[in-house]
C-alpha cells in the first residue's frame, strides 16, 4: 500500500493530512450517521491505530489523529470494511454534505442527500474547492444557519428553497428540481470566479457579484437562531462532548445503545433512545460550563500553534458566566470557532485576549500568562451585571 499523501488543510480518509502528532484522517459518515457496527468498529480502530479519542468536527464528521506511517495502511482497510470510505479521492472530497440531524426516514432528506452526492461525483460536475459544502436543512425550521455551508437547501411552505450562503434570496424548487438547482448554483460559483476569491467560499463571492436572476426571486425567511438541544428529542437522545472529544471507550459504549447521528454542535444523537446511562464525558445539561468553551488542537498537535489550547480552555471554563462562550485558539487562523466571542489566542510571547472578536481580531490585552488570563476572566465575570 502506498504512503499517505500530504495535504494542506482538508483531510479525508483516502487523503490524510500530516500534523505534528502524526497523520490526521477525517471520516465523512454517509448521511452523517453511524450504524452500531460502524461506531463499534471506529472505536476499536481508534484504540489500536490512533489516539484513542475521536474528534467530532463542526461539519459533523469524525477525525482520527496521531496515526503513524505504519498504522495508516492497516487503519484504512479497516474503515473501508466498515463502509466508511468513498471509492476514490474525487468522490471523498466532493461529498461535503451536512444534514440537519433531526431528519425523519420519510421526509425525503436522505433521498436528497444521496442524489446530491451522486450529482457532485458525476463527470460533468463543477470542480469545487475542498471546503465548499452543502447544508440540507429540511426540517420544519432551519437549524443549520450558523453551520458552515456554501449552498443551503431548506424546506419552506411551497417546497424547498435553494440559496447561496450570504444571500438574502434564493430559488424555490419542488423536490425533483432541488439537486439540479443546487448544482446550477455551484456551477455559477465556478463561472463567476468564486475559485479566485481569497476564501474560495460562496459568501465572499456573493458579497461582490450579483446572483443569477432565478436565485433572487424569493426572500430567505427570517428564523430564530437555533439553540442546539440536549437530552430527549423526537428522534432520540442528544448528548454533547466537551470540545467535541469523544473517547473511544465512550463511543464503544454508545454503540451498544443505538445507531448514532453526528451533529455540527459537537454532540451525538442516539436514534430512538429515550434515556442514556451515566457515561463519563457525556454532557446532558444545557448549563454545563464545558459547553461554553471552544478550542482547536493547539500545541503540540498542530505545527502552527504557538501554545496549548485545550487544557487552558478547560481551566478557564470555571470563570465563564452563563451565556458567555470562550474560544482559545493556537494561532490567528481560529479553526475551532470562526464567529466572534471572548477569544484567547496563543502567541510566541504569551496569550492575547480579545474581548469580542475572532482569532484574527485586534487584541485588547497581549502577552498574558494563563494565571493572568484567569484573573482577567474573574474580574470580567464580577463586572457582568446579573
Ligand atoms: S487555529 Fe491554528 S493552531 Fe489551531 S488548529 Fe488551526 S492552524 Fe492549528
User: What's the per-residue H, E or C state across 185-214?
Assistant: HHHHHHHCCHHHCCCCCHHHHHCCCCCCHH
- 110 shares its domain with 200: yes
User: Where does a domain end: 250, 267, 283?
Assistant: 283
Kindly tell me if the per-residue pLDDT of 9 is higher than 60.
no
Kindly tell me if the per-residue pLDDT of 4 is higher than 50.
no
Average pLDDT on 191-198 reads 91
Kindly tell me if the per-residue pLDDT of 8 is higher than 80.
no
Kindly tell me if the per-residue pLDDT of 384 is higher than 80.
no
* CA–CA separation, 267 and 264 (whole Å): 7
- 295 shares its domain with 270: no
Beta carbons of 57 and 29 less than 8 angstroms apart:
no
Distances (CA, A) of 210 to 72, 169, 185, 200, 202: 45, 11, 12, 16, 12
Q: Which atom of ligand 1 lies nearest, measured to the CA of 346?
A: 3
Q: Is residue 335 part of a domain?
A: yes
Distances (CA, A) of 72 to 16, 18, 372: 9, 11, 42
CA of 304 to the centre of ligand 1 (A): 6
**15: number of CA atoms within 13 Å, CB side?**
17
Strand ranges of the sheet holding 293-295, from the earlier edge strand across to the other edge: 293-295, 326-329, 341-347, 350-357, 365-368
- 149 shares its domain with 212: yes
- 196 shares its domain with 115: yes
Kindly tell me if the per-residue pLDDT of 386 is higher than 70.
no
* CA–CA separation, 268 and 259 (whole Å): 10
Q: Is residue 40 part of a domain?
A: yes
Q: Which of 7, 294, 297 to mutate to test the pocket of ligand 1 (most atoms within 8 A of CB)?
A: 297
User: What proportion of the chain, given as a percentage, has pLDDT over 90?
Assistant: 88
- 267 shares its domain with 308: no
Q: Is residue 347 part of a domain?
A: yes
Q: Is residue 4 part of a domain?
A: no
* CA–CA separation, 120 and 148 (whole Å): 18
Kindly tell me if the per-residue pLDDT of 7 is higher than 50.
no
Residue 381, pLDDT score: 83
Beta carbons of 246 and 56 less than 8 angstroms apart:
yes
Kindly tell me if the per-residue pLDDT of 308 is higher than 80.
yes
Residue 208, pLDDT score: 93
CA of 336 to the centre of ligand 1 (A): 8
Read off the C-alpha cell for 371: 494565571
Read off the C-alpha cell for 130: 475542498
- 65 shares its domain with 130: no
The model's pLDDT over 136-148, given as tens digits with 9 standing for 90+, comes to 999 999 999 999 9
Please enumerate in sequence order all residues whose Cβ is within 8 A of that of 87, keeping only pairs 6 or more positions apart, or say none.
none
* CA–CA separation, 254 and 56 (whole Å): 14
- 114 shares its domain with 213: yes
Residue 57, pLDDT score: 94
Q: Is residue 352 part of a domain?
A: yes
Kindly tell me if the per-residue pLDDT of 149 is higher than 50.
yes
* CA–CA separation, 130 and 267 (whole Å): 24
Q: Is residue 73 part of a domain?
A: yes
- 267 shares its domain with 302: no
CA of 26 to the centre of ligand 1 (A): 16
317 closest CA partner among 364, 366, 374: 374
Confidence of residue 380 (pLDDT cuts 50, 70, 90): confident
Which residues does ligand 1 sit against, CB inside 6 Å?
296-298, 302, 304-305, 329-331, 333-335
- 294 shares its domain with 278: no
List the domain range (segments joined by +) for residue 178.
Answer: 102-219
Q: Which of 302, 307, 312 to mutate to test the pocket of ligand 1 (most atoms within 8 A of CB)?
A: 302
- 326 shares its domain with 370: yes
The model's pLDDT over 68-92, given as tens digits with 9 standing for 90+, comes to 999 999 999 999 999 999 999 999 9
- 171 shares its domain with 185: yes
Kindly tell me if the per-residue pLDDT of 3 is higher than 60.
no
Number of domains in the chain: 3
Beta carbons of 182 and 176 less than 8 angstroms apart:
no
Average per-residue pLDDT for the chain: 94
Q: Is residue 10 part of a domain?
A: no
CA of 230 to the centre of ligand 1 (A): 28
The model's pLDDT over 245-293, given as tens digits with 9 standing for 90+, comes to 999 999 999 999 999 999 999 999 999 999 999 887 999 999 999 999 9
290 closest CA partner among 300, 280, 276, 275: 280
Look at the block and give the residue holding cell 435553494.
Answer: 162
Average pLDDT on 326-355 reads 95
For residue 30, what is the domain's CATH number? 3.90.480.10
Residue 197, pLDDT score: 85
- 141 shares its domain with 158: yes
Q: Is residue 225 part of a domain?
A: no
The model's pLDDT over 200-230, given as tens digits with 9 standing for 90+, comes to 899 999 999 999 999 999 999 999 888 889 9
For residue 376, what is the domain's CATH number? 3.30.413.10
Distances (CA, A) of 7 to 10, 13, 83, 300: 7, 12, 23, 19
The model's pLDDT over 42-61, given as tens digits with 9 standing for 90+, comes to 999 999 999 999 999 999 99
Among protein residues, the one with the nearest Cα to ligand 1's atom 6 is 335
Amino acid at each position: 500500500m502506498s504512503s499517505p499523501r500530504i495535504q494542506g488543510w482538508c483531510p479525508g480518509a483516502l487523503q490524510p493530512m500530516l500534523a505534528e502528532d502524526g497523520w490526521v484522517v477525517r471520516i465523512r459518515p454517509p448521511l452523517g450517521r453511524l450504524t452500531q457496527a460502524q461506531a463499534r468498529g471506529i472505536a476499536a480502530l481508534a484504540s489500536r491505530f490512533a489516539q484513542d479519542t475521536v474528534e467530532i468536527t463542526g461539519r459533523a464528521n469524525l477525525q482520527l489523529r496521531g496515526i503513524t506511517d505504519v498504522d495508516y495502511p492497516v487503519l484504512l482497510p479497516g474503515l473501508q470494511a466498515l463502509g466508511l470510505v468513498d471509492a476514490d479521492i474525487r468522490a471523498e472530497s466532493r461529498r461535503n454534505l451536512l444534514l440537519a440531524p433531526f431528519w425523519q426516514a420519510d421526509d425525503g432528506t436522505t433521498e436528497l442527500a444521496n442524489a446530491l452526492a451522486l450529482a457532485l461525483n458525476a463527470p460533468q460536475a463543477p470542480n469545487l474547492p475542498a471546503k465548499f459544502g452543502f447544508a440540507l436543512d429540511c426540517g420544519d425550521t432551519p437549524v443549520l444557519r450558523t453551520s458552515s455551508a456554501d449552498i443551503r437547501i431548506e424546506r419552506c411552505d411551497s417546497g424547498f428553497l435553494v440559496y447561496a450562503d450570504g444571500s438574502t434570496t434564493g430559488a424555490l424548487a419542488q423536490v425533483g428540481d432541488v439537486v439540479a438547482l443546487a448544482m446550477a448554483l455551484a456551477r455559477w460559483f465556478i463561472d463567476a470566479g468564486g475559485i479566485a476569491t481569497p476564501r474560495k467560499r460562496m459568501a465572499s463571492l456573493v458579497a461582490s457579484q450579483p446572483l443569477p436572476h432565478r436565485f433572487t426571486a424569493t426572500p430567505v425567511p427570517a428564523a430564530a437562531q437555533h439553540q442546539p438541544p440536549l437530552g430527549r428529542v423526537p428522534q432520540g437522545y442528544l448528548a454533547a462532548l466537551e470540545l467535541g472529544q469523544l473517547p473511544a471507550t465512550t463511543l464503544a459504549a454508545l454503540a451498544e445503545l443505538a445507531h448514532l447521528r453526528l451533529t455540527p454542535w459537537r454532540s451525538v444523537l442516539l436514534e430512538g433512545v429515550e434515556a442514556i446511562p451515566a457515561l463519563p464525558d457525556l454532557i446532558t445539561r444545557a448549563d454545563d460550563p464545558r459547553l461554553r468553551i471552544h478550542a482547536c488542537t493547539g500545541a503540540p498537535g498542530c505545527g502552527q500553534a504557538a501554545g496549548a489550547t485545550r487544557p487552558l480552555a478547560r481551566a478557564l471554563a470555571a470563570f465563564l458566566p452563563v451565556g458567555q462562550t470562550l474560544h482559545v485558539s493556537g494561532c490567528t487562523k481560529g479553526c475551532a470557532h470562526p464567529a466572534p466571542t471572548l477569544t484567547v489566542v496563543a502567541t510566541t510571547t504569551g496569550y492575547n485576549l480579545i474581548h469580542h472578536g475572532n482569532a484574527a481580531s485586534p487584541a485588547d490585552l497581549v502577552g498574558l500568562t494563563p494565571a493572568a488570563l484567569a484573573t482577567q476572566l474573574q474580574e470580567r465575570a464580577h463586572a457582568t451585571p446579573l
